[in-house]
Amino acid sequence: MSFHNLDLNSALLRVVKRAGYTEPTPIQVRAIPHILKGRDIIGCAHTGSGKTAAFALPIVQMLDPVSGRRRIRALVLAPTRELAAQIDEEFGKFCRDTPLRHVAIFGGVGQQPQVDALRRGVDIVVATPGRLQDLMNQGYIRLDHVEFFVLDEADRMLDMGFINDVKRIIKRLPRVRQTMLFSATIPPAVQDLSKSILTEPIKVEANPQASTVESIAQSIYFVESGDKRALLKHILRDPASERVLVFTRTKHRANNLAKQLNRARIPAEAIHGNKSQTARTNALSRFKSGRTAVLVATDIAARGLDIESVSHVINFDLPNIPESYVHRIGRTARAGASGIAYSFCDVDERKYLRDIESLIRQPISVVGEHPFVSTVKPPQRTMAEGNASNGKRGRRGRRSRVNRRSRVSQHRAS
C-alpha cells in the first residue's frame, strides 16, 4: 500500500515524502480515506501507530485556506502537554507549504505567547483541556467555527479525570462537525462517550498486538524489590543499553532512581508531572540528543512521548494497569522498528504480570540467569505453561493459578 492510494493531494504527498514516510501505517491506511469522505471515526490505536498523521493529514487537506479573519476550524484535544506539543509539531510538518496556522495550548508555561498566537489568528488548535478552558473563560478562544474535532487518547483522558472538562468543551462546539475519537483501548466509559459525540462512526483499528507487541523482544527478571537498583545498573553497564527509558510507578521513585544512577555515574534524568514544562522539555531534548542515556519516567509523563530509537524500555516497576505495559513498551517499537523491553518483577508484582500476560495473550520469557535472581521461589507461571505448550488456557492453567495464589499468600504470611 502506498500513500498514493489514499486520496491525498500532491502537496501532502510531497510533505509525507519529505517526512521520510515511505508507506502508510495500518491506521493511516484504514482511517485516511474515511476521514477524507467526511465520516466520523473511532480509531483504536496506540501512540506509535502513526495515528497523528492519520487524522492530521486529512484535516490539513480538508481545511481550505480562507481569506479574511481566521477562526479556529480544527480542534485537537490531548490529555498531556507533551502529547499536545508533539501533535502540534506534526501539524507543523504538514502545514509547512500551506497558509494554515496552528498553535499548541497547554498549561505549565506562560499563557502570553499562546494568547498572542490566538490574536494573530489560527486555523488549528491542539490543546489540553485545562488551559483551553482557561483561555475560553478569558474570552481568547471561541469554538463556534470548529469543523473538525479530534479527541486523542480518549481512554487516558478519562483515566486522568478529564471527562467533565471534555464534556464542557464539546458543548461549545457546533453540532455539525466531523469528529474523530482515538483511543488505545475502548473501555465502556469511552464507548459511552463515543455514542454521545460521534454520528454514525466508522471503527478503524490498528491491532496493537500485531503491530507493536509482537515485534518487541520482551523478558522478565524476577528480582527482589531491594535488588532492583543493582540489577538496573548491571543492565545499564551493557554498551547495548544506549538510550533507555525506565518506568517507575511513582514520581518519588523516578526522582530517587535518577539520583542513584547519577551517583553511579550513569547520566539519568527523571520526567514526571511535578516537573515544570520547561524542565520536562529540556530533559526530553537532552535524552533525544543522546546527552542523557537514561530517562526515568512515570506513565503519565511518558504518555505519547515521541522518542525515536529508544534501545530499551525497562519496567523498573510493573504497571498495575495492564494496558500501561503495552503503552510503555510501545516506546521501543516506533513505526515498525523492533525493540527490547525488560520488566522487573518482585513477588508483589506477580499479579500484575499475570494480568499483562493475559492482555497480550502471550507469556513473557523469563531471564533465568542474572546476578540478582530472586531467592523467593517464583510461583508456577500459568500463562507460560498454558500458552507455551498449546496456545490455550486449559484446566491445568486454572488449577495452577489457584495453587499459585495460595503459595504467594503462604509466603506473605511467613
Helix and strand numbers, DSSP H then E, in the chain: 18, 14
Least separation in angstroms between residue 288's CB and ligand AMP is: 11
**Closer to ligand AMP by Cβ: residue 52 or 362:** 52
**Closer to ligand AMP by Cβ: residue 182 or 316:** 182
E-assigned strand segments in 301-389: 312-315, 339-345, 365-366
**Closer to ligand AMP by Cβ: residue 137 or 289:** 289
Least separation in angstroms between residue 315's CB and ligand AMP is: 20
Query: How many residues make contact with ligand AMP (CB under 6 A)?
Result: 14
Least separation in angstroms between residue 277's CB and ligand AMP is: 19
Least separation in angstroms between residue 93's CB and ligand AMP is: 8
**Closer to ligand AMP by Cβ: residue 52 or 185:** 52
Taking the C-alpha atoms of residue 138 and residue 339, their distance in angstroms, rounded to an integer, is: 46
- The contact pattern for ligand AMP, residues 330-369, with x = CB under 6 A and - = no contact, is ----xx----------------------------------
Which residue bears the cell 500532491?
Answer: 10
378, three cell numbers: 517464583
Least separation in angstroms between residue 252's CB and ligand AMP is: 28
Three-state DSSP class for residue 227: helix
| Binders in 125-154 for ligand AMP, by CB under 6 A | none
**Closer to ligand AMP by Cβ: residue 207 or 400:** 207
Least separation in angstroms between residue 156's CB and ligand AMP is: 13
Least separation in angstroms between residue 106's CB and ligand AMP is: 17
**Closer to ligand AMP by Cβ: residue 152 or 317:** 152
In the sheet that holds 74-77, the strands lie side by side as 102-105, 124-127, 74-77, 148-151, 178-183, 41-44, 202-205
Least separation in angstroms between residue 335's CB and ligand AMP is: 4
277, three cell numbers: 514544562
Q: Which residues does 283 contact at the CB level (< 8 Å), separation at least 6?
A: 269, 270, 271, 275, 292, 295
Least separation in angstroms between residue 19's CB and ligand AMP is: 6
Identify whether the C-beta of residue 125 lies closer than 8 Å to the C-beta of residue 76: yes
| Binders in 267-326 for ligand AMP, by CB under 6 A | 306
Q: What residue type is assigned to position 256 of the chain?
A: N
Residue 301's closest CA among 267, 270, 342? Answer: 270
- The contact pattern for ligand AMP, residues 16-55, with x = CB under 6 A and - = no contact, is -----x--xx--x------------------xxxxxxx--
Identify whether the C-beta of residue 135 lies closer than 8 Å to the C-beta of residue 115: yes
Taking the C-alpha atoms of residue 404 and residue 414, their distance in angstroms, rounded to an integer, is: 15
**Closer to ligand AMP by Cβ: residue 83 or 122:** 83
**Closer to ligand AMP by Cβ: residue 306 or 317:** 306
Taking the C-alpha atoms of residue 229 and residue 257, their distance in angstroms, rounded to an integer, is: 8
**Closer to ligand AMP by Cβ: residue 23 or 238:** 23
Concatenate the DSSP letters of all residues of 128-191 into one string: -HHHHHHHHHTTS---TT--EEEE-SHHHHHHTT-HHHHHHHHHTS-SS-EEEEEESS--HHHH
Binding positions for ligand AMP, rule: CB under 6 A? 21, 24-25, 28, 47-53, 306, 334-335
